[in-house]
Chains A and B, each alone.
Chain A
């Protein structure tokens, strides 16, 4: 098919198709590539924190080990499970969207949104416990009776990394809520569900980052 010929036709039957794309498939693939490029910048954003964490842990191994004992391993594991299951429900949402199953799409989006809420709820419980004990980042650190100096460093990274990740979860919830609204209005179909697809990619990346954060912060041996 010729690109110019296809582009010259009015897209009356496909209102979602932008005029500079010849085919819906081409538009969807271009959107996806854009999303993946964005995800790579996200990986590098967190990568900077991973590097700082790694260097500080090498220099203050004992302090990191002692400090990590203040984290609740069970809550961390629970949140890992919650986020993994939410990734599954998101994958199912994309699957339902691809098949044009609107009710299932709404159901799975709602499930993903609720699980994200549970994740942030658990995080809230953990944070309030840390605040209460004075386990705060940097110069705000007010915990007394530490066996090893430098534990504030662990909590600086703990709050930076889980905080940035939590912001990503919150942003994801906002986008999923918007998708939910659009899905209920029937704006997605088997022919057009790119926003669901791309949000799914983002959500899985947020999950993937937590997969690394959990052992690094909660499981120091």
Chain B
């Protein structure tokens, strides 16, 4: 295909990408064992590394880097929709009082009220 092979990746590039992916996997496993002060920091770090790995796969293994941008536009549109979907789900969950009956008493007993619920309780 003349259009796709203008600047195709070489086996050497693929090997380097594989090495980077394996190294990042090791970093994820190691980072999971480190205490950064809050569990949410670990989640952010794990997802950031996963996204870096995913980008490498998409750019090199899936050829997005060397192709005409149409496929990248489709892919990124899908990811943007997913991001909106996830963002509102999590915003909603984080800004509500506990609704699950099983979760609420346990959380209160442990004194582990989320900041948002604590604020609402104080206000009332």
- Are A208's CB and B58's CB within 8 A? yes
CB distance from B36 to the nearest CB of A (A): 8
- Are B42's CB and A51's CB within 8 A? no
- Are A221's CB and B29's CB within 8 A? no
Per-residue interface assignment for chain A, residues 135 to 146, with 1 indicating a CB less than 8 Å from any chain B CB and 0 otherwise:
000000000000
Measured between beta carbons, the chain B residues less than 8 angstroms from A92 are: 11, 14
- Are A214's CB and B28's CB within 8 A? yes
Per-residue interface assignment for chain B, residues 52 to 63, with 1 indicating a CB less than 8 Å from any chain A CB and 0 otherwise:
011001101110
> Inter-chain contact count A-B, CB under 8 Å?
140
Among A37, A58, A212, contact of B50 (Cβ-Cβ < 8 Å): A212
- Are B78's CB and A43's CB within 8 A? yes
Cα separation A84 to B25 with both chains bound (whole Å): 10
Confirm or deny: A33 has a beta carbon within 8 angstroms of a beta carbon on chain B: yes
Confirm or deny: A16 has a beta carbon within 8 angstroms of a beta carbon on chain B: no
Chain B interface residue count, CB cutoff 8 Å, equals 57
- For residue A35, which residue of chain B has the nearest CB? B71
- Are B61's CB and A59's CB within 8 A? no
Chain A at the B interface: SS class: helix
Query: B interface vs A, CB < 8 Å?
Result: 1-5, 8-9, 11, 14-15, 17-18, 21-22, 25, 28-29, 32-35, 39, 42-43, 46-47, 49-50, 53-54, 57-58, 60-62, 68, 70-71, 74-75, 77-79, 81-82, 85-86, 89-90, 93-94, 98, 100, 102-103, 106, 110
Known A43-B78, A87-B57, A208-B58; 13 more pairs at CB < 8 Å: A25-B3, A28-B4, A44-B81, A50-B82, A54-B89, A58-B93, A80-B25, A92-B14, A200-B61, A200-B62, A204-B61, A207-B57, A211-B54
